[in-house]
Amino acid sequence: MINRREFLANSLAAAAAPARGRADACIFLWLGGGAAQIDTFDPKRRGDGKKVAGAAYGAIDTAIKNVQVCEHLKQTAPLLDRCAVIRSITHPIVSEHAAAANLVHTGRTPSGTLQYPSIGSVVSHQLGPKTEEVPNYIVMGYPNITRDPGFLGAKYGYVYLTQTEIGPNGLVRPPDVDSTRQDRRETLLAAMREGHQNRNAGDTVIQAQGDVSRQAFRLAGPRFMNVFELNRESTTLRESYGGEFGQRCLLARRLVQAGTRFVEVSFNLNFLNGSGWDTHNDGQTNQHLLIQDLDKAFATLLLDLEKQKLLDTTLVVIATEFGRPPEFDAGGGRGHQSEAFTMVLAGGGIKSGLAVGTTDDLSKKVIERPVTIPDFHATIHNALGIDPHKNLYAGDRPVPITDHGRIVQELFA
């Protein structure tokens, strides 16, 4: 029996926990390289690009009262009431892109004994598939161990896409293989696979590989492959999304609509400014081209999801590994800064139209409401209806979904 003290403690804990969100899918926009918060979503006074620290661009008003963004986010600004801008993200990894990207994707620093799963794999594991005909977790960008399923196993890994027009090359049937020939191949493979799994019944890796193999044949069907027919969308909509990154965002919407739970869309068009979001030296010169591309794609994605009645159930995230300091380097660019930077959440049923956290007059330090990466993960999970404090299991070892992350409760009030 539970005693009175335990009953009261449990009641208080339940009362303190925010309501779970109603999102059932997530589109994770990855600005790899380290997007400058001072030049995007946390603008401050202007600098001169040389000796005077500050923003590289002017600021404009938004749909949120007293909240401004960079002048190159002109399409996003009137839609910011669909968003929550978290300006006080902070973590300690400033020197290495790979280590910081791993932290943002897994919510933890590496362990010598355990490979932690990425947030996409955790979401896939916890929410399960909507359909067996569409991948639960997809990455558009560079394949990387930081996106891997870790101890959750291959079943919760991602399908990697290199282009938006035809889908994964491995799922496209060769022109000389008709349906009859394909059926014979699948029957033969199924018999061989079943025998191999039976002979290795205790090997979880082999069992998982067999499951993935079976899923691959299901994915080669029309429900998934038709998602890539972007020409089914109007020319006006496709043009509204913009270039390659925008077309990836359009594909992400179509994937979510078809049943995918988690889509990461990497913005890795380095040729636009020579360096991508890693704006050392000359990379800063044409950074505005990246920001304008992001603006066009993100704003169109929000409106498109809204039109399709998907915005309330789809959480859209803008994430990066760290930000940039207000000072300019010798080449006119910016270094790394992890002590204070910005992430953005939109849709997913969260409370929007607010900016969380405050930085100092140059966006260099958090002065109010710091949000750690585990906190950020906990908030995403909560928006997706996942208990961020639940234990996963690496064999018999319990591993909490987040590393003591605390939900940003303002977004669920």
The CATH number that applies at residue 45 is 3.40.720.10
Residue 316 confidence (pLDDT) above 50: yes
**What is the spatial distance between Cα 249 and Cα 305, in angstroms, rounded to a whole number?**
11
Same domain, residue pair 262 and 342: yes
**What is the spatial distance between Cα 27 and Cα 384, in angstroms, rounded to a whole number?**
12
Same domain, residue pair 167 and 180: no
Same domain, residue pair 155 and 239: yes
pLDDT of amino acid 186: 57
pLDDT of amino acid 114: 93
Instruction: Give the H/E segment covering residue 41.
Output: none
Residue 11 confidence (pLDDT) above 50: no
Number of other residues whose CB lies within 10 A of the CB of residue 121: 27
pLDDT in tens, 50-97: 999 999 999 999 999 999 999 999 999 999 999 999 999 999 999 999
pLDDT of amino acid 10: 43
Domain boundary among 186, 219, 252: 219
Same domain, residue pair 135 and 100: yes
In a domain, 58, yes or no: yes
- Whether 103 and 394 have beta carbons less than 8 Å apart is answered as no
- Whether 222 and 213 have beta carbons less than 8 Å apart is answered as no
Better pLDDT: 207 or 263: 263
Q: Rounding to the nearest 10 degrees, give the CA dihedral for residues 379, 106, 366, 296.
A: -70
**What is the spatial distance between Cα 288 and Cα 277, in angstroms, rounded to a whole number?**
10
In a domain, 10, yes or no: no
Domain boundary among 190, 219, 248: 219
Mean pLDDT of 160-170: 71
Same domain, residue pair 166 and 186: no
DSSP lists the bridge partners of residue 30 as: 266, 319
Give the range among 2-6, 187-191, 334-338 with minimum mean pLDDT: 2-6
**Sorting pLDDT into bands at 50, 70 and 90, what band is 273?**
confident
How far does CA 238 lie from the centroid of its chain? 22
In a domain, 294, yes or no: yes
pLDDT of amino acid 21: 87
Q: What is the mean pLDDT of the chain?
A: 88
pLDDT in tens, 356-367: 999 999 999 999
**Helix 373-383 / helix 97-106 crossing angle, nearest 10 deg:** 40
**What is the spatial distance between Cα 305 and Cα 290, in angstroms, rounded to a whole number?**
22
**What is the spatial distance between Cα 238 and Cα 58, in angstroms, rounded to a whole number?**
29
Give the range among 182-191, 254-263, 374-383 with minimum mean pLDDT: 182-191
- Whether 68 and 53 have beta carbons less than 8 Å apart is answered as no
In angstroms, the Cα distances linking 396 to 39, 82, 220 are: 46, 42, 35
DSSP lists the bridge partners of residue 397 as: 394
**Residue found under tokens 């605390």:** 406
Residue 160 confidence (pLDDT) above 60: yes
Q: Which residues contact 31 (CB under 8 A, 6 or more apart)?
A: 267, 277, 294, 318, 319, 320
In a domain, 137, yes or no: yes
Q: Could you tell me which of 120, 114, 104, 129 has the C-alpha nearest to residue 158?
A: 120
pLDDT of amino acid 9: 44
CA 268, 269, 270: angle at the middle one, nearest 5? Answer: 95
pTM, 2 dp: 0.87
Same domain, residue pair 210 and 317: no
**What is the spatial distance between Cα 150 and Cα 392, in angstroms, rounded to a whole number?**
12
**Domain carrying residue 342:** 20-172+233-412
Same domain, residue pair 190 and 265: no
Same domain, residue pair 213 and 278: no
- Whether 25 and 40 have beta carbons less than 8 Å apart is answered as no
Mean pLDDT of 236-255: 96
**Sorting pLDDT into bands at 50, 70 and 90, what band is 205?**
low
pLDDT of amino acid 144: 84
Residue 227 confidence (pLDDT) above 80: yes
Instruction: Give the H/E segment covering residue 137.
Output: strand 137-140
Mean pLDDT of 278-296: 93
- Split into its structural domains, the chain has a count of 2
pLDDT of amino acid 410: 95
pLDDT of amino acid 141: 83
pLDDT of amino acid 20: 86
Same domain, residue pair 159 and 118: yes
CA 318, 323, 328: angle at the middle one, nearest 5? Answer: 140
Q: Which residues contact 236 (CB under 8 A, 6 or more apart)?
A: none
Give the range among 9-13, 121-125, 145-149, 281-285 with minimum mean pLDDT: 9-13
pLDDT of amino acid 214: 58
Q: In a 3-state reduction of DSSP, which class is residue 333? A: coil
In a domain, 2, yes or no: no
**What is the spatial distance between Cα 12 and Cα 324, in angstroms, rounded to a whole number?**
40
pLDDT in tens, 14-42: 445 678 889 999 999 999 999 999 999 99
pLDDT of amino acid 163: 74
Q: In a 3-state reduction of DSSP, which class is residue 70? A: strand
